[in-house]
Structure 1
Amino acid sequence: MEQDTTLAARLDRWARARPLLVDGSLAGVIWLVFGLPGVLVGGPAGLVVATATILPLALRRRQPVALLVWSTAVFGLQLAVLPIPLPANIAQALVIYTVAAHVASLPVRLCALATALAGCLAAGFRWSTEPEYTRNALVIAVFLAVFAGLIWLIGNVVRGRETNMRALGEAYARLEEGRLQRVRFLAQRERVAAAREIHDIVAHSLTVVIVQADGAEYAAEHARPWDRADARTALATIARTARTALTEVRGVIDVLRDPEAADDPGGPPVCLSDLERLVAAVRAAGLPVEVRADPAVFERAPAAVRFAVLRVVRESLTNVLKHAGARATARVAVEWTSEAVRVRVADDGAGASGVAVDGPGHGLGGMRERLRALDGVLTAGPRPGGGFGVEAVVPVAPPGARR
């Protein structure tokens, strides 16, 4: 059954793609079956009328209104010259069906029905015989009218189906376009997220590398004697930071290559040791950092929240390294409350000089976008006593409500 349906669908598509060929072939078959016998019924005049009635069917779907006018005129001529019906009159039924099925204008379709009913009445009286002429005429007219009305109704049903199919096709096309737009939107959002992630990684790593390199350059130029242990420490920090950055950038690129890994962009869940390594790298760059972190955050919070906490701390400390000045001190606090994880990063340096507090895209704006996806809130700005502060609040389910 499924194969028959598939074959029928293919034949239907093939016929719709070649209407002139199909209608021309149909007209030829009808002429052979119903047109040629007209010479036996009505002589040469019958053959001429049958040919004039059938052959224009080759253009029935291209010019249905013109075909209706032509068919009406030929049928009137037939009633005038021939007192009997012809087998070719079956073509008039096809004309009625064509107008009802393929003409969108309701007045034109109603005109075709009225013309058909009038023709049925005229044919009834033309083809009636004695002795009960009027009764026979009415019987013939009613029979032909019922037949013509059914053909007209079938054509309208087919036209309605075609209209519904076109509407469904347009709706499907709109849905498909909406799906493609959503796919493009999601791809764009992934690219933006990847760009933000790479910016955070590279900005932090390069900041540490630059601070270490500047310190090593200054020591090499001014210190007497040159301390190889300090140089080794600076170079080791640079190498470790660069390797870490390279690994994290590769992780982001792997996420872009494998969309199924997009829900776990950071690989294994962030733990307290990741925060400690981050702080150690910043301290090695010369920035004193005081840390107070609740271990429960890195044990109970969802992986996405832990990841966001680490990124907020890293971006904030990177800003301190870049903007707070040489004698600044940073303090980091990560707390677990009953409803949220709260992160505070504050410094006592030069303040907000050079920091884009409300800018979109990267930096603090990138942190806001990351927290917004978790229904979190980030506030940042100069502190009343000097320095700069960043505070992030990320809501989480309380431990008792977690499954």
Structure 2
Amino acid sequence: MEQSTALAARVDHWARVRPLLVDGLLAGLIWLVFGLLSVLVGGLTGLVVASATILPLAVRRRWPTAVLAWSVAIFVIQLGVLPIPLPGNIAQALVIFTVAAHVASLPVRLCALGTALAGSLAAGFRWSTEPEYTRNALVIAAFLAIFAGLIWLIGNVVRGRETNTRALREAYAKLAESQRQRERFLAQRERVAAAREIHDIVAHSLTVVIVQADGAEYAAEHAQPWDRTDARTVLATIARTARTALSEVRDVIDVLRDPEAADDPAGSSVGLADLGQLVAAVRAAGLPVEVHADPAVFEETPAAVGFAVLRVVREALTNVLKHAGAQATARVVVEREPAAVRVHVEDDGVGRDDGVAPAGPGHGLAGMRERLRALDGVVLAGPRPSGGFGVEATIPVAARSARR
């Protein structure tokens, strides 16, 4: 059954893309059958009239109105020269069907119907015979009119089906284009999210590396004597930070290659230990950090919330390292509330002169806000009245679905 349906669909497609060829073959076939039979009925005159009626069917769908006018003219001539119908008159029924099925103008279609009815009446009186001439004429006219009307109605039904099919094809094309646009949008959003993640990872790691390298350079130049233990500690911190950054960047790339990995519960969990490692790296860079974190934040909330907390703390501490000054200290508080998680990161450094954090999509606090927006969270940031800078993030626990 499926093979038959597929074959019919292929044949229909082939016929649609070659209308002139199909109509030419149809006209030739009708002429071979009904045109030649007209010789038996009307002789040579019947053959000429039938040929003039049938052969224009080869262009019936290209010029339906012109073929209709030609068919009417030939039929009038036939009524004048022949007192009998011809087998070739079947072509005129096909012309009526063509106009009804392929002409969009309602007046033209109604004209075709009116012409067919008038022709039916004229043919009835022309082809009627005695002894009951009038009765026979009306019977013939009624039969031809009913036949022509049915052909006209079938053509209109086909035209409606073609119109609906065309509308469905256009709607499908629009749907396909909308789907492609959605896929492009999702791909763009994935790239933006990856760029934001990589920015945060690289910015934090390079900040730690730069602080360590600057400290080591200063110590190498001014400290007497050079302490190998301190040098080894600095280099170990730099290496550890670089390896961690490389691993996290690879994780982001893996998620881009396999988006389903981002939804894997086994690979998408963070805990208090991750926060501890982050703070330890910042402390190793020379920034004293005080931490108060509720373990329930990571144990009793979705993984997406835990990741968001970690990202907020990392971005805030990175900004402290870059902008707070050499003598600054930081304080991190992560609290679990009934309906949300709150993150406070404060420092007592000098901060920026203008008190404004860097802006721009995917950078600094703007990237943090974008990330939390996916979880219905908000971020407030600005200078503290007592000095320094503060960041406060609120993340609903019952957040809508978000990406890692």
| Matched-pair contact (CA < 8 Å) for 2:199–2:362 | no
In the alignment, residue 394 of structure 2 is paired with which amino acid?
V
The whole-number CA distance in structure 1 between the counterparts of 2:46 and 2:80 is 12
| Equivalent in the alignment of 1:80 | 80
Q: CA deviation at 1:357?
A: 5.5
Residue aligning to 1:21: 21
Judge conservation of contact 2:19–2:61 (CA < 8 Å) in 1. yes
Distance 1:155 1:348 in 2: 85
Q: What does the per-residue CA deviation read over 1:259-315, in whole Å, with 9 as the maximum and x for residues that have no partner? A: 212335994411111111111111110101000011111111110000000000000
- Where does residue 401 of structure 1 map in the other structure? none
Q: Which segments of structure 1 move beyond 4 Å, counting only runs of 4 or more? A: none
Work out the CA distance in 1 between the residues paired with 2:288 and 2:375.
30
The AA in structure 2 aligned to 1:169 is: R
Equivalent residue of 1:332, what SS? strand
User: Is the CA contact (8 Å cut-off) linking 2:262 and 2:268 kept in structure 1?
Assistant: no
Structure 1 residues 303-322: aligned runs within 5 Å: 303-322=303-322
Cα separation, 2, equivalents of 1:276 and 1:234: 19
TM-score after normalising by structure 2: 0.96
| Cα separation, 1, equivalents of 2:280 and 2:41 | 108
C-alpha distance in structure 2 between counterparts of 1:390 and 1:263, whole Å: 29
Residue in 2 that maps onto 1:245: 245
Q: What amino acid maps onto 2:150 in structure 1? A: L
Residue equivalent to 2:262: 262
Q: CA deviation at 1:360?
A: 3.2
Asked if the contact 2:27/2:57 (under 8 Å) is kept, the reply is: yes
Moved more, 78-87 or 4-13: 4-13
- How many pairs are equivalent? 398
Matched residue, 1:283:
283
* C-alpha separation in 1, matches of 2:53 and 2:239: 93
Following superposition, the deviation at residue 353 of structure 1 comes to 3.9
Aligned equivalents of 2:361, 2:274: Cα separation in 1: 27
Q: Which residue number corresponds to residue 272 of structure 2?
A: 272
What is the CA–CA distance in structure 2 between the aligned matches of 1:71 and 1:356, rounded to whole Å?
82
Structure 1 residue 216 displacement after superposition:
0.3
Q: Distance in 2 between matches of 1:152 and 1:187?
A: 52
| 1:44 shift after superposition | 1.1
Whole-angstrom CA distance in 2 between matches of 1:337 and 1:319: 26
SS at match of 1:389: strand
Give 3-state SS (helix, strand or coil) of 1:331's partner: strand
Contact kept, 8 Å, 2:380 with 2:392, in 1: the verdict is yes
Distance 1:217 1:282, change over 3 A: same
Cα distance in 1 between the residues matched to 2:358 and 2:220:
37
The answer for the alignment partner of 1:391 in structure 2 is 392
Q: Tell me which residue corresponds to 2:128.
A: 128
Residue of structure 1 equivalent to 2:229: 229
Equivalence for 2:402: none
Distance 1:141 1:155 in 2: 21
State the shift of 1:397 in Å: 4.1
AA paired with 1:76?
A: V
Taking the aligned partners of 2:244 and 2:362, their CA distance within structure 1 comes to: 23
- The SS at the match of 1:220 is helix
The answer to whether the Cα contact below 8 Å between 1:351 and 1:383 also exists between their aligned partners in 2 is: no
In 1, Cα distance between the equivalents of 2:362 and 2:206? 19
Identity %: 81
Q: Distance in 1 between matches of 2:301 and 2:265?
A: 16
- 1:352-385 CA distances to partner (integer Å, 9 max, x unpaired)? 4475365432110011011110011100000001
Q: Is the 8 A contact 1:344 1:392 kept in 2?
A: yes
Q: Work out whether residues 68 and 95 of structure 1, in 8 Å CA contact, stay in contact via their aligned partners in 2.
A: yes
- 8 Å Cα contact 1:99/1:155 also seen in 2: yes
- Separation (CA, whole Å) in 1 of partners of 2:387 and 2:359: 19
Per the TM alignment, residue 37 of structure 1 is displaced from its structure 2 partner at its CA by 1.6
- Contact 1:252/1:265 (<8 A) preserved: no
Cα pair distance change 1:373/1:381, threshold 3 Å: same
Q: Establish whether residue 92 from structure 1 lines up as the match of residue 111 from structure 2.
A: no
CA distance in 1, matches of 2:276, 2:9: 66
The letter of the residue matching 1:253 is I
CA shift in 2, pair 1:358/1:331, >3 Å:
same
Is the CA contact 2:30–2:54 (under 8 Å) kept in the aligned structure 1?
A: yes
After superposition, the C-alpha distances for 1:42-69 in whole angstroms (9 at most, x for unaligned) are 1111110011000110001111000000
Aligned to 1:153: 153
What SS class does the counterpart of residue 295 from structure 2 fall into?
A: coil
Q: 5+ unaligned residues in a row in structure 2: which ranges? A: 400-404
| Contact persistence 2:52–2:74 (CA under 8 A) | yes
Aligned-partner Cα distance in 2 for 1:268–1:93? 72
Distance 1:198 1:62, change over 3 A: same
Tell me the residue number matched to 1:219: 219
Aligned alpha-carbon RMSD (Å): 1.4
- Which residue in 2 is equivalent to 1:365? 366
1:95-121 CA deviation, whole Å, 9 max, x = no partner? Answer: 000000000111000000000000000
Alpha carbons of 1:268 and 1:151: their partners in 2 closer, same or farther (altered >3 Å)?
closer
